[in-house]
Every structure is written in C-alpha cells, then in structure tokens.
Amino acid sequence: MRKNIVAGNWKMNTTLPEGLALAKGLNDALKNKTTNCDVIIGTPFTHLASVVAAIDTDKIGVAAENCADKEKGAYTGEVSAAMVASTGAKYVILGHSERRAYYHETPEILKTKVELALANGLTPIFCIGEVLAEREAGKHFEVVDEQIKGSLFNLSAEDFAKIILAYEPVWAIGTGKTATADQAEEIHAHIRATLAAQYGQEIADNCTILYGGSCNASNAKELFSKPDVDGGLIGGASLSVEKFLPIIEAFDK
Ligand code: PGA
C-alpha cells in the first residue's frame, strides 16, 4: 500500500546553525512518538550532510530541494544527484513551481533530473500543479497530465513506482489560499487515473500523492482525510517545530 508522508520544504530559508537547530528540534519532538506517516525534511544543499548526521534518519528522511541535470563536470555552482546521495539524503524535490518559473526548468530538463536522481538511488518528490489562469480556464487537469507525461512517462513501471508526486497548485503556494479538500481530492483522483492508464491500477494505487500549498495545522486533517490525498509538502509551516508537528499529527487517530 502507498505511504502517508508529511514532507517539509525549507526553500532558501535558515542559515546552517538555524537549520540544524530546527532539524534537532523536530528530531527531539519525534523521538518518543509513533507517527502514522513518514516524515521528510527538504533542506538547502549546504545543510544536508550536517542534518543527516544530527538526526535519526530512520525517523526523519532528508531531501535536497533540487539537483543538477548533468552527471558531473564543468558546471560551476551545480550540485549533482551523486553529490546529494553522498550526503546521506535519500530524497530530492524536483520540478517545484519556483524552479520551473524562476530557473526555467522545462519538462525535458526535469526528465533528465529525475533519471539522474533515480540512477543515484534518490527518491524524487516530483511537483506538478497549475497557475491561477490555468485553473480559471478549467485547464488544470490537462496541465498536470502534461507535466507528468513530459517528465515521467518515459520511466519503466519499476522506476515510476519509486516516484512520490506532489500536487501543488501554484496559486496556493505561500499565499495562505489553500485548495479546498474537495478540490484537492478531485485532482488527486484525476492524477491517479492518469497514472493507472499508463502503468496500471496497482502502480497508481501505490503512488503517494502529496498536496502542497498553504497546508497548515488547521487544514491538514481535512485535506489528509481525502482518499487520494496521501499527505503534504509543506513550505512555510515546516520552518518551525510548533507549526510542522501538528501537521504530522494530523495523521494521528
Ligand atoms: P507553502 O509552500 O506551504 O508555503 O505554501 C508549499 C511548497 O511550495 O512546497
């Protein structure tokens, strides 16, 4: 069966000491607690190795927020999937709308990043989602289908089964505006049907599909109660233990 996951995406926030304090704080909060979901934190590249060393990685998985679309070599400033994996991080967030919008990451580039991540043993958390104009034009189903097809449907069923998806409507990211639980369920169910058509029902049923976009302690429970919403990718509310922990606890019985 698919996993429930609550994943944090710190984005370009926290210095190394601040990030370490946040990771350790979460680690302490979860130490004697049984969670009903997997917990992941996505940190800046500079923090990965230190965060991995400072926490119990059986309890909290660590993700990079990006990796290069090249294997290695003369690409000044880039960080490869192999480098990420060598820190002990097990996940990589790819295709976030901020990467697509500000760093011009195309479906083609993302396809390569996904392949390199998988080749290096990393689990991609692959983000998809429409902008407001696309939602208003009723094109959101089409948009997410294209994003999935353009970067993932070249994968074998075996490789696709390793992917975690995150549906993040761009209009809900950092805006305080959340998709309603019904809107999230509607499109998550659609995404699962798209996966089933390509890879069969079993792989579709086993794919974890997270919701992201202003998910917080007050809306997480309702969102996660929907049958096709398997957890959340959390930006702003992952930057403090006080805000992040209740989202994890939304899976408590
Ligand atoms: P947000 O960000 O929770 O701050 O809206 C979510 C994300 O971008 O992953």
Structural domains in the chain (count): 1
CATH number, position 74: 3.20.20.70
Q: Which of 105, 130, 134, 168 does the annotation list as catalytic?
A: 168
Q: Which residues contact 228 (CB under 8 A, 6 or more apart)?
A: 185, 188, 189, 191, 192, 209
Task: Tell me, using a 6 A CB cutoff, whether residue 173 lines ligand 1.
Answer: yes
In tens digits, the chain (253 residues) has pLDDT values of: 899 999 999 999 999 999 999 999 999 999 999 999 999 999 999 999 999 999 999 999 999 999 999 999 999 999 999 999 999 999 999 999 999 999 999 999 999 999 999 999 999 999 999 999 999 999 999 999 999 999 999 999 999 999 999 999 999 999 988 899 999 999 999 999 999 999 999 999 999 999 999 999 999 999 999 999 999 999 999 999 999 999 999 999 7
- 98 as an active site residue: the answer is no
Task: Tell me, using a 6 A CB cutoff, whether residue 174 lines ligand 1.
Answer: yes
- 168 as an active site residue: the answer is yes
Q: Which of 47, 96, 140, 188 does the annotation list as catalytic?
A: 96
97 Cα to the center of ligand 1, angstroms: 10
Which phi and psi angles does 213 have, rounded to 5°?
130, 95
**Residue 224 lies in domain:** 5-251
Task: Tell me, using a 6 A CB cutoff, whether residue 95 lines ligand 1.
Answer: no
Is the pTM here over 0.75, yes or no?
Answer: yes
Which residue from 195, 185, 168 is spatially nearest to 98, judged by alpha carbons?
168
Task: Tell me, using a 6 A CB cutoff, whether residue 121 lines ligand 1.
Answer: no
